[in-house]
Structure 1
């Protein structure tokens, strides 16, 4: 069972949409949400890596979640955002931007509301899913962001950082 389902208290999550599906990440990983803007492309990167942005003097790699999930790259609209998350990668705090179609809300998700990922039917790889939270609107897929950002992606992102830095 995942760590979310084992907790008795609620955990805040940022909910957002990629295509028509609702996803969420623990709010503790989210640093900020910025409007989709100028992204500098970096040659020879996988399709899911849009490039880098300058965030107050820091170079931040940007990953397109739709492309990572095997869909077409996101075409920016007025609601497209970049969710800036921070993870510890190779013992260093790393900020990464995630392109999403729209940000919805901050949800309080109770541990008992979370179910394990079904073996099929979510549209993305089940190992990307930490759990499924049921609410009035249906299900919200809680992402395991460390799985979404595979080791290969992390190495690619570090290469982007080295090239851009």
Structure 2
């Protein structure tokens, strides 16, 4: 399988990032910006994965920690910890959210035939937000479907939190 770097190649492009020892990718067209970690405004009684909100040029953006969302060990944020600001679509709206990740890796171009289906783990592992697996330079990259990372209800809750903070 031949995923390759973006320059001069064909296929869908994915921004890849690291959580722990694993590599993940999101559709580059959904990425609004990448920014270094800065402290956020915490929201009382919010889910653990919701780190808080940021005011990004006048827009209140909820920030979720993907390590916590994926039930991974929590780690201290470092100078390479970043927030990837993405556009998430639900049935009723489009929402801007920030995802805290350990580090950004690269932009890869992956053709559709190079993406393998997510294995069936028999319900033991939640895979609904994994679009597929791509093998790139002897490394597996999990391609995320960011529209399925949060439920419709969770997105509504994030929108409500953002609206309250904005007022």
**Same fold, TM-score > 0.5, yes or no:** yes
Matches within 5 A, 1:4-153: 10-89=11-90, 91-120=92-121, 125-153=126-154
Query: What SS does structure 2 have at the residue aligned with 1:127?
Result: coil
Residue 91 of structure 1: how far off its partner (Å): 4.3
CA distance in 2, matches of 1:63, 1:148: 11
User: Where does structure 2 lack aligned partners over 5 or more consecutive residues?
Assistant: 1-9
User: Where does structure 1 lack aligned partners over 5 or more consecutive residues?
Assistant: 1-8
Residues 81-128 of structure 1 show CA distances to partners (whole Å, capped at 9, x for unaligned) of 0000012345443210000000001100111110001124xx962112
Residue 134 of structure 1: how far off its partner (Å): 0.9
Inter-CA distance 124–25: structure 2 relative to 1 (3 Å threshold): farther
Runs of 4+ in structure 1 displaced over 4 angstroms? none
Q: CA RMSD in A?
A: 1.7
The alignment of Structure 1 onto Structure 2 pairs a total of residues equal to: 155
Superposition TM-score, scaled by structure 1 size: 0.87
Residue 74 of structure 1: how far off its partner (Å): 4.4
Residue 18 of structure 1: how far off its partner (Å): 1.1
